[in-house]
Amino acid sequence: MQPINLFEYEQLAKQHLSQMALDYYSSGAWDEITLRDNRAAFERIKLRPRMLVDVSDRNLTTSILGQPLELPLLIAPMAFQCLAHPDGEIATATAAASAGVGMILSTLATKTIEEVAAVRQNFPNALQWFQLYIHKDKSLTRALVERAYTAGYKALCLTVDAPVLGQRERDRRNEFSLPLGLHAANLATVSDLDIPHAPGESGLFTYFAQQLNPALTWKDLAWLQSICPLPLVIKGILRGDDAVRAVECGVKAIVVSNHGGRQLDGAIASLDALAEIVAAVDSRAEVLLDGGIRRGTDILKGLALGAKAVLIGRPILWGLAVAGIGGVSHILSLLEHELSLAMALSGCQTLQDIDPSLITPPQG
């Protein structure tokens, strides 16, 4: 039978993935406290629905950085999607474009920037951003940025919470590396880099230590903006003062995220950081929420606490593993239906009706 929620997809995906791929996708750092807390945070928040509101029609549309979306959802940047299905990021991009949601392509994708951009030939209005890791080799970073701009991506999404990679013990135990025939496609076309096999360690951990720049600071944002006119989004902010600094540096959108619990274990849940950051930004940049979303009610809670939209990560991989593009499309359809239903039951006709008064205790 076809899964009827995202949790069922997760269970079914275990039958379609190797143990190494499953652990890579699902694991968190160290004791996985933050990984679990991302979900628990949504369970702690309760809703205060309005009654006797005409909700016969609901409108889920919004816009992010001026680009329209059919619902307030973007697919988070996730590496190595071909571990789940041979079509990988192309299937994900196609499903996203068809559903009218955004997609953020990872630097560590297994399909190239150009291959994923080609999806827009059939969906010219598709929202595509490029997620960036800044490498020690600045010429490599510049080349990636220039390719994304030339290919028509609409924003750069800089991940700022990974100066080094968090210790994911399941990956270390598995000595994670890409199977024969899979590569970090965007790096192979620039400098023939790949994820090494590292005895006793995760190959990705070793790659980050060798290649990524741990000396990245706020000053580097100016350099990045100087080489590309695209709006800059930063992902991985959990503090209000960092959010203010980002706005002062010209950042146009902030993704509140703890990297899916995969970096600093014990870090605050993304949802618990959201209200402080929304208040600190004070409408000077758009705020998005990433981490732990599995239900339409989770999206509703995130929007009620001030997010303009949310990012969805691992469930996309579960759908991809189970049924390729059809699985990703079904995941997005389930979330759209659940959000629409949650809005109806909360007395909200439009996303603009979702406000802090829906949360208990009342916010704002």
Given a contact cutoff of 8 angstroms between Cβ atoms, the answer to whether 42 and 301 are in contact is: yes
Neighbours of 228 (CB within 10 A): 18
Report the distance separating Cα 154 and Cα 117, nearest Å: 11
Residue 315: its H or E element: helix 314-346
* Residue 290, strand partner residues: 311
E-state strands within the chain: 46-47, 62-64, 67-69, 73-75, 102-105, 128-132, 156-159, 232-237, 253-256, 286-290, 309-312, 359-360
Q: Going by C-beta distance under 8 Å and a sequence separation of 6 or more, which residues neighbour residue 338?
A: 295, 296, 297, 299
Q: What is the DSSP letter of 86?
A: T
The tokens describing 88, both together, are 């990988």
**Does the annotation count 16 as an active-site position?**
no
**Which of the residues 183, 259, 330, 337 is marked catalytic?**
259
Are 97 and 123 spatial neighbours (Cβ–Cβ below 8 Å)? yes
Q: How far apart are CA 63 and CA 352, in angstroms?
A: 12
CB 235 within 8 A of CB 160: yes
Q: DSSP 3-state assignment of 231?
A: coil
User: Hey, which residues are catalytic here?
Assistant: 259
